Amino acid sequence: MTRKQNENSLKEHIQSLDNITLNFSLDPSSVLVVTDASIKNHVTMSILHTYVHNKQVVKTIYHIINVTTTKAELFTIRYCIN
């Protein structure tokens, strides 16, 4: 992919996330769950935010220190990170 294609793909992805968030805010019965995960310097972290009626109700942080590749894979499986 070229740099321009990557930028367009990122913009489309951000627009898609914006649309999901807007649709969530219009439906009072919706629950929005936002996750982020990273592995850096042998530390694996997963953060989960849960919103109901546009208000954050839960913030959960999981982390593991001194992570090997195998442990990182197991962490990914356990917390359903794609």
More confident residue, 63 or 79: 63
Predicted confidence (pLDDT) at residue 82 exceeds the cutoff of 60: no
53: left (phi over 0), alpha (psi -120 to 50) or beta: left
Predicted confidence (pLDDT) at residue 81 exceeds the cutoff of 80: no
CA distance 51 to 1: 35
Contact between 67 and 43 (Cβ < 8 Å):
yes
pLDDT category, 44, cuts 50, 70, 90?
confident
CA distance 34 to 42: 23
pLDDT category, 63, cuts 50, 70, 90?
confident
The residue assigned the tokens 């992805």 is 13
Contact between 63 and 48 (Cβ < 8 Å):
no
pTM higher than 0.85, yes or no? no
Mean model confidence pLDDT for the chain = 80
**What count of other Cβ atoms lies within 10 Å of the Cβ of residue 39?**
17
More confident residue, 78 or 14: 14
